[in-house]
Amino acid sequence: MRKHYLLIAITLALWLGGTWASAQGAIAVVENTYQSRFGQEIIFRLVVESDVAIRRVALFRQLDGEEGRVRAEVDFSPGRRVEAEYIWELESGELRPGVGISYWWLVEDASGRSLEVPPTLLNYEDDRFTWQELSQGPIRLYYYEGERQGAQAILDAATEAATRIEDHIGIKLEQPVSIYVYASRADMLPALAQRDATYDEQTVTLGLSTGGDTLLLLGSHDDVLQTTAHEMSHIIVGASTENPFTDLPRWLDEGLAMYAEGELPSDNAKALERAIRRDELISVRSLSAYVGDASLVDLYYGEAYSLVSFMLDAYGQEKTAELLDVLEEGVLPEEALNQVYGFGLDELDNRWRASLGLGPRTADTVEASSREERGGLTICSVAVLLPLLLGAATTRRGR
């Protein structure tokens, strides 16, 4: 019977938590809550009590998968009972839907006692909508509008892309992936990082891979299935080559993503054929960065697809997988190519050109990108530039 009383006492102590601690003269937590408004703010609230004045309250937060943590000193009115509130004002797209955030508090009172409140995990969800879920293997898809059949088609496209990448490139999807399908551009905007007013007005983002495990899609666009395959490649390849030293060469990253789509889209194919016919291909070295000239975007992605297809056909998926392994170690692209293939960027360029029926590149060879000043513009989404920008819609693909 004595054991039963002891068990009841321990249970009550754990249940009462702060109240039990307060009776012993320690700092007690009365309330620990949060409230989030997607794309706007997260409000953290803490109410604590002590038998002496509380002099410090600090909030710590850490995103899932990240080593770094953020500390914020919280302003409050000192006293034996303190109501502290911290507002994390969010920029558009700062946090991806579904990301986990751990947060905890550190409280100190005038007697020198301190209390570190155990971490709380919050899932930052886009709660503007009532999401429905579909899943297949490690891929989960969330949608809130439209028929289940359309959502299933997107999920199938993601699964097929993962299978194609595994079969043809040798990289397997090892981690869970979440796909959020938005019904309109207006619905999707708060989930996207904003660049500048002009750019945001003139672009429509079709898809964006973010955080290494999340894909945002504009489900109402006709190209949503191709976009899904493209961005799935970025997620899978990115996870297999992630390192703190170097990024994957753009031509390789985008070429693999275009390859994951399957057949090369007609606009890209036409631009590629025209450049081959005129011997005006962008050099492989120049493909290492995105083109700044919007008129060359179709050619850029067509070339990236053609180059990766050549490498797979001529040297096999084993060499491509080996190249990705070497790049994962942080080796620079030129050195990585030499290690795996025995030649660098310039020789790769000439061998690829030969496969297309062109001679080696010389000083006199015209490069399409040399006709316009090229910039280092980085495109981090699959986007369509509206007629206001180009006079015609142009597809941009990227990470």
pLDDT along the chain (399 residues), means of 10: 37 36 70 96 98 97 93 96 97 94 97 96 96 97 94 97 93 95 94 75 84 94 95 95 90 96 94 97 93 86 98 96 96 97 97 97 65 35 39 37
Tell me the sheet residues that pair with 72.
59
Q: Under a CB-based contact definition with an 8 Å cutoff, are residues 200 and 349 in contact?
A: no
**Domains and their CATH numbers in the chain:** 25-124 (2.60.40.640), 132-396 (1.10.390)
144 phi/psi in degrees, rounded to 5: -135, -5
Strands (E) in 169-249, as ranges, are 177-182, 203-210, 214-218
Q: Which two tokens stand for residue 187?
A: 């619905």
Tell me, what's the pLDDT at 377? 31
Would you state the pLDDT for residue 363?
67
Long-range pairs of 157-164 with CB within 8 A, sequence gap ≥ 24: 157/225, 157/226, 157/228, 157/229, 158/215, 158/228, 158/229, 158/232, 160/229, 161/228, 161/229, 161/230, 161/232, 161/233, 161/260, 161/261, 162/137, 162/232, 162/236, 164/229, 164/259, 164/260, 164/262
Count CA atoms closer than 13 A to 389's CA, side-chain side: 18
Q: What is the pLDDT of residue 289?
A: 87
Residue 385 pairs in a beta bridge with 203, 394
